Chain A
Amino acid sequence: MSEVETPLLEVRQVGKQFPGVRALHDVDLLVQHAEVLAVIGENGAGKSTLMKILAGVQLPDSGQVLIDGKPVILDSVKASLDSGVALIHQELNLAENLQVGENIYLGREPNRCGFIDRKQINQDAAKVLKQIGLDVSPTKPLSELSIGQRQMVEIAKAMSVGARVLIMDEPTSSLSSAEAERLFEVVHDLRRSGVSIIYISHRLGEVKALADRVVVLRDGENAGLLKRNEISHDSMVRMMVGRDISQFYSRETLATGDVVLSVEGLRTPTWPEHELDFTIRQGEIVGISGLVGAGRTEMLRTLFGVDYPIAGKVVVEGTPVDLSSPLTAINAGIALVPEDRKLNGLVIDMSVRHNIGLAALSRNRLLGGFLNHRVERRDTSQMINDLRIKTPNDNQIARFLSGGNQQKVVLGKWLSMLPKILLLDEPTRGIDVGAKQEIYQLMEKLAKEGLAVLFVSSEMEEIMGMSDRTIVMHEGRITGELQRSELSEEAIMQLATGKANEGATVID
């Protein structure tokens, strides 16, 4: 790789605006021939937007994209593919009802007088599959493949159109560690064969192992570039966060009060074979860590009455609670800020006021079921002030707020109900750094006021920085609890991978 060589792909001063958010601002990116370039940054840093621009899904508002030194206009997915850029989606874009080969050639089937030429498809597909080392028959239905294999099919599809730059967006997020291993081998093979890879991941361990260079984005801008020998966990985190972690999280351990929530022998419908037991005290912030799919979200859903528990006892302040619906959980003083705020947290097309007031409508209602507008307005303006929600007025439609402010609206909805226990599922996912810090401060403040806070997070720094105590889950059961003094990434990772599995690669 020589420095004078024309870069394969170059992004110059690209900018992109979205309603309420500046997603990208003058971002530069260089991809050399046959390299693995990792793009990292926190959620909302602009990685996905940048990749969508490269894949032709979105057009930039300003700036240029050059391929082989020549400006190109990537105004459609086809235009990008023609230029040799292919995106492997986070959510796989494959048709489950079709065969592997048909998927690879979907939309550009070789045909004979309009009839699909199956023989040709299967021959060609077999060739590509062999190239990336996936040992499945092209005629196998896709639905019979594992997630990892499907991802390989996506890669095969990209290779079959002659992609020279392959964008992988969080490719390991739903893979087992063995599958992830295979993927890394394929990435190495691809690079050896001259393909460049833009690798997006939150898992810094992977990045460290794979990347030739690392580009860090923060708040839609370039935050720095790390060469191979400069890549380290600390350097990456520092660049991503923009300050030292120790300043970012300022949790002081507090004296905690009585037990507010105690969970005994709880079996969730997703993992009915495991019993969950734990307690939380007043003023305590408890983090729940674990890998994706460890059953953390499911546990919160069960505690909130969304999923009906198979067995077990949940006691809030000494009173057993029957968690048959979110309503019973809410009445017991439990609140949940769900993982996907657009899906479960907000009625995105309703106003800020209506969203904040939604859960308390019944509690505040007037005689005859009439709305209590006065209380709703009062609560809303209090929440807008307390949580510093940036909105022109309380009639603003939630859709037009930034992610952080949307999250604050969800929080406001619950805080106006004065809950005893606050469950947070990935509370800072997809929101900018500033809002993130505000949410951390809020969690602290609430804990100080005596709330019990239980939060699920996949961001190690968040767990390490925020929790008084950490519960680690693995495949539906609690594998351990760590006090603040015992917290370390290694300790969490050991528990999160089920202890026995110490050789696991997927460590970040």
Chain B
Amino acid sequence: MNAKSLGIFGLLVMLFVFMVLMTSDPWTDIFSSTFLQSNNLENLLRRVSMYGLLGIGVAFVIITGGIDLSVGSIVCLAGCLLGIFLQVDYEPASVFDVRSANSQQQSVVVYGNADGTYKAGDKLRMYRGRRPALLTVLDVEPVQLANSDNKSIGVGTVLKVEGLSRDEDSGQVAMAFEIADFGPAEKDQPAWVSLRDVPFDLTARDRVTFFHPTLGLKDLVVSAATQDGSVSRIEFEQTLGERFSKEWMAVPTERQQRMAIPLAILSVLGIAGLLGLIHGLLVTRVHLQPFVVTLCGLLIYRGISRWLVDDNPVGFGIEYKETLSPLGSGKLTLFEWGDGANTFGIPYPLFVFLCAAVVAAVFLNLTIWGRYLMALGSNEEAARYSGIRTGRVTILAYVICTVCAATGGILFALDSGSISPSSFGNFYELYAIAAAVLGGCSLRGGEGSIFGVIAGTAVMMLLNNLILLLKIPDRLEFTIIGLVILVGVTLDETVRRIAARRRAMKSASN
């Protein structure tokens, strides 16, 4: 640890003590401090971890003498891509899109050939908002569909039905099944039903939608299912309720997750790495300035993110509540008190962050590539003249940066559960750069330590917390953070100058 890291660490400790004292009431009883409340501390650790990841990544680029402004947009892109890769659809069996439905003629026209899928006597669910409609098929007849100019637009099917109560010009129809049997008799116990002729095997986490034309809808998650000939017995953890009867119909839906979780995460990180590679190539081979390259990245990735999801919020909902989401929002509980009302634990992102920090610190300090990075950041020409492939090392730094940013983006997205592509990750690059600079990275390159970046991030987050807890108007947040950084780097520069002068005098007198 060098003197610079020590300085920022000192600042961190001072801020911490200051926060404790300022938020305790009275001053002597520090345990009354709102700052020291366990959820505040947990939250702080979580934020430090996530922003810290960004800081570590950008520190690598800053050490090469470059800059990465695209971090915030990469965070957003990673969040959106993860949402897309992990999107879950529940697809009913034998579903068709409705072109039009005529209640007078009791006919429904759907796209595609439904002959063979549906036959007379089948029950269909017609989707119509929250109010389900049950149709019975009388006749199925394929037709050629044409648009208003009499141009063919492919095959369709006319369904003669019973039970259509109003006209539609969109929607879907899907096969509905009658309840063959259900139980148990005690309606407050986890339920089971059996259905006949379900065209696919249901498994855990699939869903079954039960509906009744007047009594409404119920969506249950399958916990287990067994197949016995044409009869499927489906078990749930939820109950069916008092009013459930054989009058209800069931639409089994198959859970379709686009990618397995590990694959999704690897894909996001891979794409981010690829973008980093492009940044690096543009900087080293085309000799563009890092500022320009990554500024363009900032704009491009933000736009792509918004376009990919149509500017709609991306959410992970309850689908990954048990599996992936805790990685962002969960914690490892260490203490419990007051009958479990109070807990303190280590947020999971902290583990991710610490792993990344240890790997980064080892890489930077103990491997030849870390030394290469420091050398080329300080004097690229001399590094090249020493046989170092400076281009490759620089590219590596950009890849590390975008991968770290994407990792942070995944955690941020999981933590907040739902992200809006137009604002998610905005200005995060500035937090990351500020943390790195505060932590002792010189924008001229060749200087910086992982410990410093961690301390720098912690200082930033403490300041943020201070503004919140001391009820300083949050409009002033950026101002305060800006001022603290300014004072910090000014002090650092001054101290360094004095130290350098002293050292120079000392070696001159030798």
Query: Which A residues contact B (CB, under 8 angstroms)?
Result: 17-22, 304, 306, 325-327, 329-331, 336, 338, 343-350, 354, 358-359, 361-362, 365, 368-371, 392, 396, 400, 413
Contact = CB atoms under 8 A, between A and B. Distances in A.
Interface string B373-393: 011001101111111110000
28 contacts: A17-B508, A19-B504, A19-B505, A19-B508, A20-B507, A22-B508, A326-B386, A326-B387, A329-B387, A330-B387, A343-B379, A344-B382, A345-B382, A345-B385, A347-B383, A348-B382, A349-B378, A349-B379, A349-B447, A358-B382, A358-B388, A359-B387, A361-B371, A365-B368, A369-B368, A370-B366, A371-B370, A392-B507
A354 B387 contact: no
Given A326-B384, A338-B385, A400-B504, A354 B379 contact: no
Nearest to B369: A369
Interface residues of B, number: 28
The 3 A-B pairs at the shortest CB distance, nearest first, are namely A19-B504, A330-B387, A359-B386
Contacts of B347: none
A299 B148 CA distance: 77
Contacts of A343: 379, 381-382
B445 to A, nearest CB: 10
Interface of B: 366-372, 374-375, 378-379, 381-389, 446-447, 503-505, 507-508, 510
Contacts of A400: 503-504, 507
A306 to B, nearest CB: 7
Contacts of A344: 381-382, 385
A69 to B, nearest CB: 33
A331 B388 CA distance: 12
A358 B386 contact: yes
Contacts of A369: 367-369
Given A343-B379, A371-B368, A392-B510, 4 more contacts: A326-B385, A327-B389, A330-B387, A345-B385
B446 A349 contact: yes
Contact of A20 (B367, B368, B508): B508
Contacts of B388: 327, 358
B378 A350 contact: yes
Of the candidates B388, B447, B503, the one having the most CB atoms from chain A within 10 angstroms of its own CB is B388
A344 B375 CA distance: 12
Contact of A347 (B369, B375, B510): B375
B382 A346 contact: yes
A371 B366 contact: yes
Contacts, number: 95
Contacts of A358: 371, 375, 382-383, 386, 388
A362 B382 contact: no
A354 B375 contact: yes
Contacts of A22: 508
A347 B508 contact: no
Contacts of A349: 378-379, 446-447
Contacts of A304: 385
B385 A336 contact: yes
A413 B388 CA distance: 13
B363 to A, nearest CB: 9
A325 B375 contact: no
Given A20-B508, A327-B389, A365-B368, A350 B384 contact: no
Nearest to B444: A349
B100 to A, nearest CB: 66
Contacts of B504: 18-20, 400
A354 B373 CA distance: 12
Q: Is the interface of A mostly helix, strand, loop or mixed?
A: mixed
A19 B375 CA distance: 23
A125 to B, nearest CB: 37
Contacts of A327: 387-389
A350 B503 CA distance: 15
B389 to A, nearest CB: 6
Of the candidates A327, A347, A348, A359, the one having the most CB atoms from chain B within 10 angstroms of its own CB is A347
Contacts of A392: 507, 510
Contacts of B369: 369
Contacts of A306: 384-385
B343 to A, nearest CB: 40
A348 B500 CA distance: 14
Contacts of B368: 361-362, 365, 369-371
Contacts of A331: 387
A122 B378 CA distance: 45
A336 B386 CA distance: 9
A326 to B, nearest CB: 5
Contacts of B508: 17-22
B498 to A, nearest CB: 14
Contacts of A336: 385
Contacts of B374: 350, 354
Contact of A348 (B371, B378, B505): B378
Contacts of B385: 304, 306, 326, 336, 338, 344-345
Nearest to A341: B382
Of the candidates A326, A348, A368, the one having the most CB atoms from chain B within 10 angstroms of its own CB is A326
Of the candidates B378, B383, B386, B447, the one having the most CB atoms from chain A within 10 angstroms of its own CB is B386
Contacts of A368: 367
A191 B384 CA distance: 48
A42 B150 CA distance: 96
Contacts of B503: 19, 400
A105 to B, nearest CB: 34
A413 B381 CA distance: 15
A361 B403 CA distance: 26
A27 B199 CA distance: 103
A331 to B, nearest CB: 8
A347 B382 contact: yes
Contacts of B375: 347, 350, 354, 358
A330 B505 CA distance: 38
B448 to A, nearest CB: 13
Contact of B379 (A19, A346, A359, A361): A346
Nearest to A305: B387
Given A19-B504, A361-B372, A347 B387 contact: no
Nearest to B379: A347
Nearest to B442: A349
A368 B505 CA distance: 42
Given A344-B381, A347-B383, A371 B389 contact: no
A345 B379 CA distance: 9
A327 to B, nearest CB: 4
A336 B381 CA distance: 13
A368 B362 CA distance: 12
A416 to B, nearest CB: 11
Contacts of A20: 504, 507-508, 510
Contacts of B386: 326, 358-359, 413
A20 B505 CA distance: 8
A358 B387 CA distance: 9
A300 B369 CA distance: 27
Contacts of B382: 343-348, 358
Nearest to A365: B368
Nearest to A413: B386
A306 B369 CA distance: 21
Contacts of A21: 508
A19 B379 CA distance: 21
A400 B388 CA distance: 24
Nearest to A301: B385
Of the candidates B366, B370, B507, B508, the one having the most CB atoms from chain A within 10 angstroms of its own CB is B507
Nearest to A19: B504
Contact of B507 (A19, A345, A359): A19
A392 B510 CA distance: 9
Given A358-B371, A371-B371, A348 B379 contact: yes
A291 B348 CA distance: 67
A325 B385 CA distance: 9
A141 B369 CA distance: 47
A291 to B, nearest CB: 25
A344 B390 CA distance: 13
B444 to A, nearest CB: 10
